[in-house]
Amino acid sequence: MWKNIVQQHEDADRIIFVGDYFDAPWEKRQLGSFGVEELANFNEILKFKFNRSDQVVLLFGNHDYHYLPGLQTSGCSGFQLQMRPLISRVLQKAINRNAIKWVHQEDGYLFSHAGVTQKWMALAGVEDVEEINGLDAEKFDYNSEYDFSGYGQSEYQTPIWVRPDSLIANRYDGCMQVVGHTPQQNGIESVDGVHFIDGLSKGQYLMILNGVPHRMQINLETVEI
């Protein structure tokens, strides 16, 4: 689907992917080969990034995090143990070429997979969001010590795991935030300075034009899945 969207916006200043390139829904994982297809798709995304380095931004999601090489993490739902060596290798290639990061700030907007809270920033020891991309990967692991929900419902949770209610209650408010991670009932929604854009399943994506966000719709019957 991403190919259909970017074809319509070839001249965009920035094209931002907010993570979760792996771990399809259960019904698709049952097909058996879907992990291989995800890997092939991510390689195409990487090629797109390498060909348009400054135009394309790739961010980490929680379903990418647990494949990072060298991390001791149990993984979240959908983790594909058999695919870990292959996915880790391609993620390391992206890291080596500075092709993927945790957050992106531009023109009064902060983009991340799940959102940035003030309490997590204090816990991580950063005062400015520009410092976040310089943190070690371990700083983004799920904060089980502060989260008794097991779901991410804590204001101390990381930018790849915090849930909407906790984000809104304690969000970093130096700019508008744009996040994915948690699908909303009606697709893309905007609440208290946060745009929740996990809407591709409904054919929706966000376009920011002259600083103003617009919810866009693509015809799902014509897209390449």
Separation CA 179–CA 157 (nearest Å): 14
Domain assignment present for residue 223? The answer is no
CATH code, domain carrying 188: 3.60.21.10
Domain assignment present for residue 219? The answer is no
CA 87 to chain centre: 16
Q: What is the pLDDT of residue 35?
A: 83
pLDDT digits (tens, 9 = 90+) for 152-202: 999 999 999 999 999 999 999 999 999 999 998 888 999 999 999 998 878
Whether the CB-CB separation of 146 and 108 falls below 8 Å is answered with: no
Separation CA 182–CA 40 (nearest Å): 24
Domain assignment present for residue 110? The answer is yes
Domain assignment present for residue 79? The answer is yes
Whether the CB-CB separation of 59 and 100 falls below 8 Å is answered with: yes
Count of domains observed in the chain:
1
Domain extent at residue 51: 2-214
pLDDT: which is higher, 81 or 136: 136
Residue 32 has pLDDT above 80, yes or no: no
Domain assignment present for residue 127? The answer is yes
Domain assignment present for residue 149? The answer is yes
Q: Which residue's structure tokens are 């020891």?
A: 125
Q: What is the pLDDT of residue 36?
A: 87
Residue 30 has pLDDT above 70, yes or no: no
Domain assignment present for residue 222? The answer is no
pLDDT digits (tens, 9 = 90+) for 70-107: 887 666 778 888 889 999 999 999 999 999 999 999 99
